[in-house]
């Protein structure tokens, strides 16, 4: 059985954003059964857990003898077992993989800066001074993404792991109206999140916190 290690509880603002959600979604798209292993901050700091995840973060995937961390790497691993996420054709597979990296390395890096300012440092003078420049960087990336998307349903010719990761990254802007400012991008995110696999993943992700 595949196991996904994640947090048993987080503050309300983080619910629906913890990165196990993207892994759960990928497993649902792939039709792979899994179970959740819930941990707390004391386990995160333990030497045993640091041997699984050197930085003490979540998620961690255990798949047979493989223990894997970093959500992007986990997503590509799952995609290797599911043509719905990574196409079999070499060029299409490479482009889907490129979009996973674009989501993480080009879009999420600026999105997370804005989220950190808004959610953790909003009352700090330095954050208030920094925010306009960070928001401008986010707007630029969203505009570039919206231009590429145009009137297409997905980033390439069909839904792939790249769309899963990109639309999940966009969730980190939910405290703003920036995605709504690009109507085709907002529709794209809604389209991705309307997928039954996402809805199942979100249900199970949120159920953990409701039980806590």
We report the CATH number of the domain holding residue 16 as: 3.40.30.10
pLDDT, the chain, mean:
97
**One domain, residues 56 and 114:** no
| In a shared domain, residues 96 and 141 | yes
Residues 163 and 177 in one domain: yes
- Is residue 105 domain-shared with residue 164, that is, in the same domain? yes
Report how many domains make up the chain: 2
Query: 145 and 74, same structural domain?
Result: no
The pLDDT of residue 80 is: 95
Output 21 or 211, whichever has higher pLDDT.
21
Q: What is the pLDDT of residue 151?
A: 98
CA distance 57 to 7: 9
Question: Is residue 6 within 8 Å of 36, Cβ to Cβ?
Answer: yes
Question: How high is the pLDDT of residue 212?
Answer: 84
pLDDT digits (tens, 9 = 90+) for 12-40: 999 999 999 999 999 999 999 999 999 99
Domain span at residue 142? Answer: 90-195
Q: How confident is the model at residue 144 (pLDDT cuts 50, 70, 90)?
A: very high
Residues 103 and 180 in one domain: yes
| Buried-exposed string 152-182: b where 16+ CB fall within 10 A, e elsewhere | eebbbeebbbbbbbbbbbbbbbeeeebbeeb
Q: State yes or no: pLDDT of 109 exceeds 90.
A: yes
**Which CATH number characterizes residue 132's domain?**
1.20.1050.10
């Amino acid at each position: 059985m595949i196991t996904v290690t994640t947090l048993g509880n987080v503050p309300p603002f983080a619910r629906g954003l913890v990165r196990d959600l993207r892994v759960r979604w990928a497993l649902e798209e792939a039709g792979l059964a899994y179970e959740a292993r819930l941990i707390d901050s004391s386990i995160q700091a333990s030497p045993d857990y640091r041997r699984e995840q050197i930085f003490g973060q979540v998620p961690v995937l255990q798949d047979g003898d493989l223990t894997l961390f970093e959500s992007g790497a986990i997503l590509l691993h799952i995609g290797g077992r599911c043509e719905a996420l990574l196409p079999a054709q070499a060029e299409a597979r490479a482009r889907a993989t490129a979009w996973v990296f674009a989501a993480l390395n080009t879009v999420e890096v600026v999105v997370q800066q804005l989220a950190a300012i808004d959610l953790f440092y909003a009352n700090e003078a330095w954050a208030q001074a920094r925010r306009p420049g960070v928001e401008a960087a986010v707007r630029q990336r969203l505009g570039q993404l919206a231009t590429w998307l145009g009137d297409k349903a997905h980033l390439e010719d069909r839904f792939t792991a790249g769309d899963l990761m990109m639309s999940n990254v966009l969730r980190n802007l939910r405290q703003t109206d920036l995605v709504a400012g690009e109507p085709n991008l907002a529709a794209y995110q809604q389209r991705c999140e309307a997928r039954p696999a996402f809805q199942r993943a979100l249900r199970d992700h949120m159920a953990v916190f409701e039980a806590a």
